[in-house]
Every structure is written in C-alpha cells, then in structure tokens.
C-alpha cells in the first residue's frame, strides 16, 4: 500500500530558468539546495499520460489511464551521507478521482484534482495541453511541436537533458501533516526523449521570474513510485 505503478504513454517536460536566489526561497527544507545548470536553477512542469495506473498488488488489467502533472524544482539533496540530485515537488495534480483519493493513503502526499486534456493534432503535428483547476482557474496551457534540436540555454543536447532529468530518482513533497515532508523514490524504465518547441504558453503557477527555456517529450517506459519515509520535523525555510 506504499507503492504505485504505471506505464508511461507520454511524458512532457517544459523547463523554465529561475534565478538561484528566487529558487532558494521556494524551498522549505534546509537539506535541499537548488541544482544549478549554466548559472540557473531549473523548474520543470511535467504533464504525463499514464496507462495502467495501479497499486503494486493490483493486476495491470485493473489499472486506469490518467493525466497527472507536477512542477518540480531540481535540487541537490544533502539528507544522506553523499549529496545527490533530487527534486522538490510542492504539489501534484491528477484528473482521476481515485488517484486524488488514494494518493494521500498510498504515497502519503496529496494529488489535487484538475481538469486536464492532452490532444494531438496530426494535421499540424501539434500537441495541445490544457490543465485547469477545478475552480476553472488556468493552471497550464501550451502548444508543443516537434523540433530537430533543443533551443535552450540549459541543455545544448537532448542527451544532456535526459542525463540531468533521469539522475533525480528521489523527490520531496509536502507530507500528510502540517510541517511534514515525504520522500518518494522512483524506479523508471527506459524512456526515449526528443526535443520540442513551445508556443501559446500560459503558466501562471510557474513562479516568480520563471523564463521558458526548453521542452521535451518522453515516450515509453514504466514508473514505480514508493514512499521511502516521512519527516515530521517542522520545515525550515532557506534564506535567499
């Protein structure tokens, strides 16, 4: 009951550049610091289409399809004996009611319910992503198009991005009680990444000073998330 699995149909990663001082103010945990790439911190919005989402003890055929998403700040985690890449995920979203209900019980972190659509227009080779809060307020919108290579300050090559992104197998998120944080570990199968370009972007929740940098799509693979532990101690803000 502390792990969930899914097959990855498609994962989209839209990267933003953020000044390091601003990124530090986003972190409520003193053992995390922003990971710096080419003088910038990296905030990524990750909407993904998942198939066969299920608890690990549930047969695959009983899994569901869902669009989930999250903003993640790339960090260096100093909680262990050796610093390692990780991510701070302040909130997660899903369009599936059962995930929003079971998420806090299974992975010990919340999944906010949203309205989400991801459609592919084959005539124009465009992917349209629209995610709104249940109140109707916009959360994220973008049109994505296939690109020959990244146009990015952060990542000169797709391989550079893939190495950076997949190196973080641990994420931290708000826990089930006030002041607590939960550690989630991820086991991921092979996902193939390709560069995208972005138009018609609206990202009101990206944070102060976030500047669009690049986008990628990941196809294939599988995920297994597990709750690795909860720290009940009060979070301590890092000074800018």
pTM for the full model? 0.93
Predicted confidence at residue 189, as pLDDT, reads 82
Residue 240 is assigned to a structural domain of this protein:
no
Predicted confidence at residue 127, as pLDDT, reads 97
Number of domains in the chain: 1
The secondary structure of residue 96, as a DSSP letter, is -
- Average pLDDT for runs of 10 along the chain of length 240: 88 97 94 97 97 91 95 96 96 95 89 96 94 96 96 96 96 89 91 96 93 96 91 50
**What phi-psi label fits residue 61: left (phi over 0), alpha (psi between -120 and 50 degrees) or beta?**
alpha
Predicted confidence at residue 236, as pLDDT, reads 47
Which residues lie below 8 Å from residue 137, measured CB to CB, with a gap of 6+? none
Predicted confidence at residue 240, as pLDDT, reads 32
- Structural domain including 227 reads 3-113+148-231
User: What would you report as the CA-atom Rg of the chain, rounded to the nearest whole angstrom?
Assistant: 17
Q: Are 32 and 86 in contact (CB under 8 A)?
A: yes
Predicted confidence at residue 239, as pLDDT, reads 35
CATH of the domain at 68: 2.40.400.10
Residue 126 is assigned to a structural domain of this protein:
no
Residue 128 is assigned to a structural domain of this protein:
no
Residue 135 is assigned to a structural domain of this protein:
no
Predicted confidence at residue 2, as pLDDT, reads 76
Predicted confidence at residue 1, as pLDDT, reads 52
Residue 168 is assigned to a structural domain of this protein:
yes
Residue 166 is assigned to a structural domain of this protein:
yes
Residue 121 is assigned to a structural domain of this protein:
no
Q: Are 167 and 161 in contact (CB under 8 A)?
A: no
* CA 87-67-158 angle, 5° bins: 50
């Amino acid at each position: 009951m502390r792990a969930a699995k899914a097959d990855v149909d498609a994962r989209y990663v839209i990267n933003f550049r953020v000044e390091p001082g601003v990124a530090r103010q986003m972190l409520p945990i003193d053992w995390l610091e922003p990971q710096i790439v080419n003088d910038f911190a990296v905030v990524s919005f990750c909407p993904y289409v998942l198939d066969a989402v299920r608890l690990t003890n549930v047969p695959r055929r009983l899994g569901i399809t869902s669009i989930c998403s999250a903003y993640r700040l790339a960090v260096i985690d100093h909680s262990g004996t050796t610093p390692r890449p990780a991510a701070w995920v302040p909130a997660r979203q899903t369009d599936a009611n059962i995930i929003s209900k079971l998420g806090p019980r299974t992975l010990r972190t919340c999944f906010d319910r949203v309205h989400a659509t991801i459609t592919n227009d084959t005539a124009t080779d465009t992917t349209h992503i629209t995610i709104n809060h249940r109140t109707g307020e916009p959360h994220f919108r973008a049109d994505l198009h296939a690109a020959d290579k990244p146009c990015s300050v952060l990542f000169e090559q797709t391989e550079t991005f893939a190495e950076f992104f997949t190196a973080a197998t641990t994420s931290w998120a708000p826990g089930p009680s006030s002041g607590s944080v939960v550690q989630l570990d991820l086991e991921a199968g092979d996902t193939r990444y390709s560069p995208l370009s972005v138009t018609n972007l609206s990202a009101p929740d990206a944070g102060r000073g976030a500047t669009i940098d690049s986008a990628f799509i990941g196809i294939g693979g599988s995920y297994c998330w597990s709750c690795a532990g909860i720290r009940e101690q009060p979070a301590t803000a890092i000074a800018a």
